[in-house]
Amino acid sequence: MKKSAIAAVVLAAGRASRMKTQVSKVMHPIAGRSTIDYVMTAAAALKPELTVVVVGKGMDDLVQAVAPHRTALQSPPLGTGHAVMAAKKALAGFKGDVVVIFGDTPFLGADTLRRVMAAKRRKPAPAVVVLGFRHETPGSYARLVLGRDGTLEQIVEARDADAETLKLDLCNSGVVAVEKDLLFSLLHRISPKNAQGEYYLTDIVGLARRDGRTCVAVEGPAEELLGINSRADLAAAEAVAQNRLRAQAMAGGATLVDPASVYFSHDTKLGRDVTVHPHVVFGPGVTIADGVTILSFSHIEGATVATGARIGPFARLRPGAAIGEDAHVGNFVEIKAAKLGKGAKANHLAYIGDSEVGAAANIGAGTITCNYDGFAKHRTEIGAGAFIGSNAALVAPVRIGARAIVGAGSVISSDIPDDAIAMTRAPLKMLAGGAKRFRAGRAKGGAKRPKTTKTKR
Ligand code: UD1
Ligand code: MG
């Protein structure tokens, strides 16, 4: 027999009053990826015929984030049951099972969702399948009330529960699977007569039971089913995500000297034998090849680092940084949209932006590529084997030839050919014995104080 089709309805229109946010709460990132993105990926694993995301008024960022999936507007948000009703029109042409997923449950796993759908398809088919989880301190989660036969009798929201019900530890995750027509006929009958004055999706279980239908609860892992309702929940979710990413990095062959102090992005890629020292932060879009060492207090984002390179301590790699094999980027060096060739070194205090640095070039302490003139960004090219002396300012657009040497303290504003030496320096003034004479004069009280220049106001 052909499996019935699945439509996913993801709820994300809530007011998020506990989060106190101007943007939709499901847009808040966890390890650099929006909460809703995790949920959409889990939903996609069911290969639904269509996915409808229920959004609130003004949530344009969310509509964009879930495109090309359809969205349905719920305005004003009057509860989770009311939110599913808002998706009715978008589901008009669909026949089959609807699985409702809450947009604030980012760690929901694909396998867990598949177990829910498997339970829905078991014969005789239950009317409603709800995904639950056990929690030692269930707090504000709704409780699943099971009958003697183990089937699900009712879902009671914590705020409507009596003391006995609150003692139950089986919680509602929010995931519900119901055949579409049955879902909407049940939803038409729910009322907002409850502590929060909302249309609860959870009420469909009690209604189905009263009609003599069977409802079942599937138990899932609690760590997958934490809902994000407040900033504290968001921080707890971040901690969960970070611990997973740290474990993944180590399982993949990277050494994290102090895992708890390293922060990853969901997409950080580390090769084998990479060593990450304490207090390193990876933003989105980072790929680190094998054998790279990253020393403490480095911040790396949108960058690639090739085999054997050494980064930090205190290095900052910004988007578009591409560090070549065995290259070194040292303390207080910032690199943006720039390539560093094989074996090139920028070891101390430098800014390299919109540049290409050739292999084995040496960038001295304090070198600045002056890439911005207040209007546009310009490029700097530094040839292979070039030597840039300390405190040089390279005024872009400019090209320093291969093997050229730039003297310390120079301001270079025109191209320097290969193998040339270039320097710009104010002439040196030197008074032999001058310091001695000055001190002697001061000691006698004879020398005048240096004059201060007064400016007219
Ligand atoms: C909800 C459930 C609760 C469950 C918990 C699991 C209800 C009534 N409560 O409570 O049983 O234990 O999740 O995490 O279902 N939303 C809308 N429109 C609305 C209201 C909410 O789209 O009018 C969306 C929210 O954006 C959110 C999701 O539905 O993504 C859940 O809403 P939320 O307010 O977080 O409900 P909880 O109090 O967490
Ligand atoms: Mg919630």
Which is the CATH superfamily of the domain at 6-224? Spore Coat Polysaccharide Biosynthesis Protein SpsA; Chain A (3.90.550.10)
Find the catalytic residue in 135, 266, 299, 348. 348
> What distance in angstroms lies between residue 237's CA and the mean position of ligand 2's atoms?
13
Give the chain's radius of gyration (CA, Å): 32
- What is the distance between the alpha carbons of residues 104 and 290, in angstroms, rounded to a whole number? 36
Confirm or reject: Cβ of 398 under 6 Å from ligand 1.
Answer: no
- What is the distance between the alpha carbons of residues 406 and 390, in angstroms, rounded to a whole number? 9
> What distance in angstroms lies between residue 289's CA and the mean position of ligand 2's atoms?
39
DSSP 24: -
Which CATH architecture best describes the domain 253-422? 3 Solenoid (2.160)
Long-range CB pairs of 135-142 (<8 Å, 24+ gap) are: 135/169, 135/171, 135/222, 136/169, 138/166, 138/168, 138/169, 138/171, 140/229, 141/171, 141/172, 141/227, 142/171, 142/172, 142/202
Provide the residue type at 57 as one letter. Answer: K
* pLDDT (0 to 100) of residue 204: 98
Confirm or reject: Cβ of 351 under 6 Å from ligand 1.
Answer: no
Tell me the pTM: 0.92
Structure tokens at 187: 């939803």
- Nearest listed ligand to the Cα of residue 26: 1
* pLDDT (0 to 100) of residue 110: 97
Q: Which atom of ligand 1 is closest in space to residue 200's alpha carbon? A: 8
Q: Is 328 a catalytic residue?
A: no
- Nearest listed ligand to the Cα of residue 131: 1
Confirm or reject: Cβ of 345 under 6 Å from ligand 1.
Answer: no
> What distance in angstroms lies between residue 11's CA and the mean position of ligand 2's atoms?
10
Q: Which atom of ligand 1 is closest in space to residue 105's alpha carbon? A: 14
Confirm or reject: Cβ of 24 under 6 Å from ligand 1.
Answer: no
Note down pLDDT in tens along the chain; length 457 residues.
467 899 999 999 998 889 888 888 999 999 999 999 999 999 999 999 999 999 999 999 999 999 999 999 999 999 999 999 999 999 999 999 999 999 999 999 999 999 999 999 999 999 999 999 999 999 999 999 999 999 999 999 999 999 999 999 999 999 999 999 999 999 999 999 999 999 999 999 999 999 999 999 999 999 999 999 999 999 999 999 999 999 999 999 999 999 999 999 999 999 999 999 999 999 999 999 999 999 999 999 999 999 999 999 999 999 999 999 999 999 999 999 999 999 999 999 999 999 999 999 999 999 999 999 999 999 999 999 999 999 999 999 999 999 999 999 999 999 999 999 999 999 999 999 999 999 999 999 865 655 555 655 5
Probe residue for ligand 1, chosen from 80, 199, 204, 219 as the CB with the greatest number of ligand atoms within 8 Å = 80
Confirm or reject: Cβ of 200 under 6 Å from ligand 1.
Answer: yes
- Nearest listed ligand to the Cα of residue 15: 1
Q: Which atom of ligand 1 is closest in space to residue 104's alpha carbon? A: 30
- Nearest listed ligand to the Cα of residue 55: 1
Minimal-distance CA residue to ligand 1 atom 25 = 14
- What is the distance between the alpha carbons of residues 17 and 15, in angstroms, rounded to a whole number? 5
Nearest Cα neighbor of 381 from 396, 365, 399, 408 is 399
Q: DSSP 3-state assignment of 295?
A: coil
The full DSSP string for 99-123 is EEEETT-TT--HHHHHHHHHHHHSS
> What distance in angstroms lies between residue 203's CA and the mean position of ligand 2's atoms?
16
> What distance in angstroms lies between residue 227's CA and the mean position of ligand 1's atoms?
9
Residues linked to residue 346 through DSSP beta bridges, in sequence order: 329, 363
Confirm or reject: Cβ of 202 under 6 Å from ligand 1.
Answer: yes
> What distance in angstroms lies between residue 122's CA and the mean position of ligand 2's atoms?
29
* pLDDT (0 to 100) of residue 16: 85
Probe residue for ligand 1, chosen from 28, 36, 37, 102 as the CB with the greatest number of ligand atoms within 8 Å = 102
Confirm or reject: Cβ of 383 under 6 Å from ligand 1.
Answer: no
Minimal-distance CA residue to ligand 1 atom 22 = 13
Domain ranges within the chain, ordered by starting residue: 6-224, 253-422, 429-457
Confirm or reject: Cβ of 174 under 6 Å from ligand 1.
Answer: yes
Q: Please check whether residue 336 is in contact with residue 300, taking contact to mean a CB–CB distance below 8 angstroms.
A: no
Sign of the torsion formed by the C-alpha atoms of 132, 133, 136 and 137: negative
* pLDDT (0 to 100) of residue 1: 46
- What is the distance between the alpha carbons of residues 294 and 339, in angstroms, rounded to a whole number? 18
> What distance in angstroms lies between residue 227's CA and the mean position of ligand 2's atoms?
5
Confirm or reject: Cβ of 35 under 6 Å from ligand 1.
Answer: no
- What is the distance between the alpha carbons of residues 69 and 51, in angstroms, rounded to a whole number? 6
Instruction: Using the structure block, give the residue that is written with the tokens 């720039």.
Output: 338
Confirm or reject: Cβ of 77 under 6 Å from ligand 1.
Answer: yes
Residues linked to residue 155 through DSSP beta bridges, in sequence order: 144
> What distance in angstroms lies between residue 223's CA and the mean position of ligand 1's atoms?
18
